């Protein structure tokens, strides 16, 4: 039995289902991300948990208590909004203190807890500033402190990092996760950024068009995406169409090694392989030859696009400190059969 459970949660807007039949069970202390493109229903799901949107049908329980129709001010959940939604006319300390005042916590205890919460997010020195005097990252910390100070059973994060610049976003990822682990609050985060979801969560829930399509640990989600939509959304994926033969997919008369369970010989198949699972070798030494079309230096890695008889293939190599193949070089692509998977093609969906 989960700490927070959603059962068949559905929200209709007119005839359109923003969220349909979402069921999920979150354990106490777990960090779960709702991941998906915009309009997939992840934010609506979060708002239903928060009590800001009334579900059309379904049930939400928190620690065994049915909270489906409870008012937001009775749920006691901590929420960090995308815009942070700080009270602009109150100082940082007053913002953080607001939730405690509503709970009629005595002044002395209130002040102690506000100090503690601000120390947790390293903002103790800015307690008397107004939100407009803070940077984006600092505002976000205030929002986190304000949500955590009330000791919520569940912390909800709505795209918490989307308003920060790239560098700060990366730092806050680790910091938010660190805070969450220290405090131990059950956390649900909504994000459209797969990197965030993968690096911060215990489990990732991928949503598409109002439905949950996969729930898995970040590692398993990345390695075994359930659908081509997920494989394309989470990380990069090369997809090569051909025909299944024992031991691999045949494309243009060449057998490319891969795993393929439940495929019959001669059936159309799509080989899927991640760019970082491919190695570059001398021409003829790999499973497929090609020519480097583009080369991009990403700092920690090199990314190549390689023109091959099977199509354009992306290859990612860790930066080993030397300059690898250049544009126009003939190369051989190599991978082991365990790192590539073949599956039946699904509809007309591109990758």
Partner 1 sequence: MSGARVSTTPWLLAAPGALLFAALVLVPLALTVVLSFHAYDVARGVQDEFTLAHYAAILSDSYFLNIFWRTLRLAALTTLICAVIGAPEAYVLSRMREPWRSIFLLAIIGPLLVSVVVRTFGWSMLLGPTGLVNDTFRGLGIGTVKILYTETAIVIALVHVMLPFMVIPVWTSLQKLDPMVEAAAWTLGASRFTALRRVVLPQVTMGLLSGSLVVFGLSASAFAIPALLGGRRLKMAATLVYDEYMHELNWPLGAAIAMLVLVINLVIMLAYQRVVEARAKRTLG
Question: In 3D, which of 238, 244, 274 has the Cα closest to residue 256?
Answer: 244
Nearest distance from C-beta of residue 75 to partner 1, angstroms = 7
The yes or no reply on residue 87 touching partner 1 (CB under 8 A) is yes
Interaction of residue 86 with partner 1, rule CB under 8 A: yes
SS3 category, 153? coil
Q: Which helix (H) or strand (E) holds 173?
A: helix 166-183
Give, rounded to a whole angstrom, the gap between the first and last alpha carbons of the chain. 37
Stretch that binds partner 1, among 87-95, 179-187, 197-205, 239-247 (CB under 8 A): 87-95
Candidates 146, 177, 192, 274; binder of partner 1 (CB under 8 A) is 146
Q: Which has the closest alpha carbon to 3: 54, 46, 61?
A: 61
Return the range that interacts with partner 1 (CB under 8 A); candidates 46-54, 184-192, 211-219, 226-234.
46-54
Q: Report which of 135, 25, 44, 130 is spatially closest to residue 87, judged by C-alpha positions.
A: 130
Residue 78 as a binder of partner 1 (CB under 8 A): the answer is yes
Residue with tokens 């405690």: 100
Complex with partner 1: residue 58 or 78, whichever CB lies closer: 78
Min CB(99)–partner 1 separation in Å: 4
Grouping H, G, I as helix, E, B as strand and the rest as coil, residue 16 is strand
Q: Which is nearer to partner 1, 71 or 167 (CB)?
A: 71
Quick one: which of 8, 13, 28, 102 contacts partner 1 (CB under 8 A)? Answer: 102
Distance of alpha carbon 337 from alpha carbon 248, whole angstroms: 8
Residue among 99, 210, 257, 275 that touches partner 1 (CB under 8 A): 99
Q: Give me 52's structure tokens.
A: 């800001």
Please, what is the minimum distance in Å from the beta carbon of residue 158 to partner 1?
A: 9
Nearest distance, CB of residue 210 and partner 1, angstroms: 22
Order of strands, sheet of 268-273, starting from the edge strand that comes earlier in the sequence: 254-257, 248-251, 238-245, 268-273, 341-343
Residue 103 or 236 having the CB closest to partner 1: 103
Let me know if 145 is exposed, middle or buried by CB neighbors in 10 A (0-12, 13-18, 19+). Answer: buried
Task: Report d(CA 99, CA 104) in Å as an integer.
Answer: 9
By CB under 8 A, name the one of 14, 15, 73, 299 that touches partner 1: 73
Q: Which stretch binds partner 1 (CB under 8 A): 45-53, 207-215, 286-294, 309-317?
A: 45-53
Instruction: Check residue 326 for interaction with partner 1 (CB under 8 A).
Output: no
Stretch that binds partner 1, among 48-56, 171-179, 278-286, 292-300 (CB under 8 A): 48-56
Beta strands in 40-114 (DSSP E): 57-62, 65-66, 78-80
141 binds partner 1 (CB under 8 A): no
> Which residues contact partner 1 by CB under 8 A?
50-52, 71-73, 75-79, 81-83, 85-89, 98-99, 102-103, 130, 132-133, 146, 150
């Amino acid at each position: 039995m989960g700490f927070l459970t959603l059962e068949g949660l559905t929200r209709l807007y007119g005839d359109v289902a923003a969220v349909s039949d979402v069921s999920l069970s979150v354990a106490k202390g777990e960090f779960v991300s709702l991941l998906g493109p915009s309009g997939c229903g992840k934010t609506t799901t979060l708002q239903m948990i928060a009590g800001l949107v009334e579900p059309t049908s379904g049930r939400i329980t928190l620690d065994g208590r049915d909270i489906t129709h409870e008012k937001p001010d009775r749920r006691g959940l901590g929420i960090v909004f995308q815009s942070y939604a700080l009270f602009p006319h109150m100082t940082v300390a007053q913002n953080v203190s607001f939730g405690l005042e509503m709970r009629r916590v005595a002044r002395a205890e209130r002040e102690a807890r506000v100090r503690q919460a601000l120390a947790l997010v390293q903002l103790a020195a800015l307690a008397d500033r107004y939100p407009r005097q803070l940077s984006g990252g600092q505002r976000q910390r205030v929002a986190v402190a304000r949500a955590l100070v009330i000791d919520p059973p569940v912390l909800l994060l709505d795209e918490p990092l989307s308003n920060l610049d790239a560098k700060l976003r990366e730092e806050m990822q680790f910091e938010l996760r660190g805070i969450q682990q220290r405090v131990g609050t059950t956390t649900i985060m909504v994000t459209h950024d797969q990197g965030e979801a993968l690096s911060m969560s215990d489990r990732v829930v991928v949503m598409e068009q109002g439905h949950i399509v996969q729930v898995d640990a970040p590692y398993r989600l990345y390695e075994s995406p359930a659908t081509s939509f997920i494989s394309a959304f989470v990380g990069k994926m090369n997809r090569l169409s051909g025909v299944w033969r024992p031991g691999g997919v045949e494309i243009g008369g060449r057998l490319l090694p891969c795993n393929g369970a439940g495929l019959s010989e001669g059936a159309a198949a799509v080989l899927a392989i991640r760019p970082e699972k491919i190695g570059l070798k001398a021409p003829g030494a790999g499973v497929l030859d090609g020519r480097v079309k583009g080369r991009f230096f990403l700092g920690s890695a090199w990314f190549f696009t390689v023109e091959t008889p099977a199509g354009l293939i992306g290859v990612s190599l860790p930066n080993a400190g030397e300059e690898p193949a250049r544009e126009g070089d003939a190369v051989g692509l190599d991978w082991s059969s365990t790192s590539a998977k073949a599956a039946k093609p699904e509809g007309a969906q591109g990758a």
